[in-house]
Structure 1
Amino acid sequence: MLFGPAGQHTSTDWSMRLNDALWAYRTAYKTPIEQRLNGSNELAEFRLKAHESLTLYKEKMKKYHDQNIEKRNFLVGDFVLLLNSSLRLFPCKFKSKWTGPYLNTQLFPHGVVELENKEGVRFKVNGQRIRIYLGHAETAKEVIEV
């Protein structure tokens, strides 16, 4: 028994019982402590190599994914179409997902775009939800002015 009855052990009991505790630990696991410490160092090295290879894999996958993303450069004064996300909840087979055209009035950092509708109401949207209007600018101006 490592400890005697409650309240009878002191800090000197630890030093007297340390050899017994180490012997029990060594015989229970059947490996010397030094060998287990070396194994933990090997484990730490293995984890470090795994972390490095994972980091390289993530960088390669990010580069591969980013090359397939088309850059969207919007300018102030462009006419754009807005994705109507409410149609995803109620899919309509022949209804267009895009509404607009809207006038791009201001660009903000991190992809936020301010749009203006034909009534002159301005609102901000995520730049991922818009695309360039490829129709004629004259017809777009007529839609916005009307």
Structure 2
Amino acid sequence: MAQHTDALHSYRQALATYDQALQLAPNLVQCLNNKGTVLAKLCILHTQLEQYPEALHSYEQALATYDHALYLAPDDTYIHKNKGLVLHRLGFLQARRSLQVRLSENIEALKSWQGAVAAFSCYLTIVTGDEYIRNLRDLLQKFLDNL
């Protein structure tokens, strides 16, 4: 968790630095692209920490930053690529959130997955070294906890 806190701090410092630079030179395309990249990395970190509102906000900021950069440099292929990557990740986050809402309403699926977690837990009391099943159980439990 400390590494996530350190990364969050580093990203915020980088954003503050880019904002200062953009106050002096608001049309500096490379600076806008770099700021968008930092915001995209912040999105990934927020998603890993399951901070979805913060992730969505960072995605919106990244897209606005890339849009401004593309307004200034419409042929910049790197900015187009970076914007595409942000939209790609945003789509997955939106789909994940939508899927979680729908799954939380599907009682049969929830019962099946809860049963799977219980069965895996019983199995792991006997076969303690099965890392595949342990990881599968832990991932499934984490998924259920986040519904």
TM bin, normalised by shorter chain, reads: under 0.3
Bigger share in strand: 1
Bigger share in helix: 2
The structure that has the greater radius of gyration is 1
